[in-house]
């Protein structure tokens, strides 16, 4: 397999896992198993996405332990490298992403299956991390801007809590303010220069909860 083929396969795969996890997230609550399945799928999406990111940026020495055999470094090493090397893209706390990795391992290897609201917030932060890095670096989007505030996400209290947490941290990192959305009243309305779901458009404001933009 050559580098171009690998890049294309990573791109297709991380998108598939991301979108499936996002669909599960729409109806996450403590009375179903969606959190468990969403965490596993989003952690896979995160791992594939960061591999795609480094490959597309041409940073193969950060990615492979053996370039001739295309043998990847351990994902925990790749994640640490991202946070050490690309500090301008620190759009969420590293602990959110590490917790997703640890939770995925507990689910897969130990069958962990209990409701954990903090983990749900970590899941949403991971989702928005992928979207934000993808948009800021490659002008692409996975989460479409909505004109309907009842898009299935904004009505979910866990989604609202996670998006407000993400918006607060992101605004603090960028010395920006967070406002209340006119549509869904969530405090996650931010300058599109720091978060947007629109390709090639960073003028105006974006609600991270209901996904409306102005």
Q: Where are the domains of the chain?
A: 3-143
Work out the pLDDT band at 200, boundaries 50, 70, 90.
low
User: Residue 13 has what pLDDT?
Assistant: 98
DSSP-derived letter for residue 73 is P
Q: First vs last Cα of the chain: how many Å apart?
A: 44
Which ranges in 86-189 belong to alpha helices (H)? 94-110, 117-138, 157-173
- Whole-number Å distance between alpha carbons of 198 and 196: 5
What pTM does this model have?
0.90
Which pair of tokens denotes residue 68? 């001739």
Q: Can you tell me the mean pLDDT for 108-137?
A: 86
Q: Can you tell me the mean pLDDT for 121-135?
A: 93
User: Residue 206 has what pLDDT?
Assistant: 94
Q: Which helix (H) or strand (E) holds 14?
A: helix 3-25
Q: Decide which of 1.20.120.330, 3.40.50.1370, 3.90.1150.10, 3.40.718.10 is the CATH code for 3-143.
A: 1.20.120.330
pLDDT digits 0-9 by tens, 10-63 = 999 999 999 999 999 988 888 888 899 999 999 999 999 999 999 999 998 889
Q: Which of 78, 83, 86, 77 is nearest to 49 (CA)?
A: 78
pLDDT digits 0-9 by tens, 67-90 = 777 889 999 899 988 888 766 666
The answer to whether the CB of 113 falls within 8 A of the CB of 36 is yes
Which ranges in 143-210 belong to alpha helices (H)? 157-173
């Amino acid at each position: 397999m050559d580098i171009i083929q690998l890049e294309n396969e990573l791109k297709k795969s991380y998108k598939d896992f991301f979108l499936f996890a996002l669909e599960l997230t729409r109806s996450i609550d403590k009375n179903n198993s969606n959190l468990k399945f969403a965490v596993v799928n989003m952690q896979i999406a995160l791992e594939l996405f960061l591999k795609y990111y480094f490959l597309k940026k041409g940073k193969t020495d950060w990615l492979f332990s053996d370039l001739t055999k295309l043998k990847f470094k351990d994902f925990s090493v790749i994640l640490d490298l991202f946070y050490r090397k690309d500090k301008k893209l620190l759009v969420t706390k590293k602990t959110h992403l590490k917790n997703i990795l640890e939770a995925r391992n507990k689910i897969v290897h130990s069958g962990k299956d209990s409701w954990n609201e903090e983990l749900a917030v970590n899941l949403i932060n991971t989702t928005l991390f992928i979207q934000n890095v993808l948009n800021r670096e490659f002008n692409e989007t996975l989460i479409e801007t909505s004109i309907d505030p009842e898009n299935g996400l904004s009505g979910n209290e866990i989604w609202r809590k996670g998006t407000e947490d993400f918006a607060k941290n992101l605004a603090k990192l960028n010395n920006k303010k967070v406002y209340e959305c006119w549509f869904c009243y969530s405090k996650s309305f931010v300058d599109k220069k720091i978060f947007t779901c629109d390709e090639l458009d960073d003028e105006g404001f974006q609600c991270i909860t209901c996904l409306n933009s102005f």
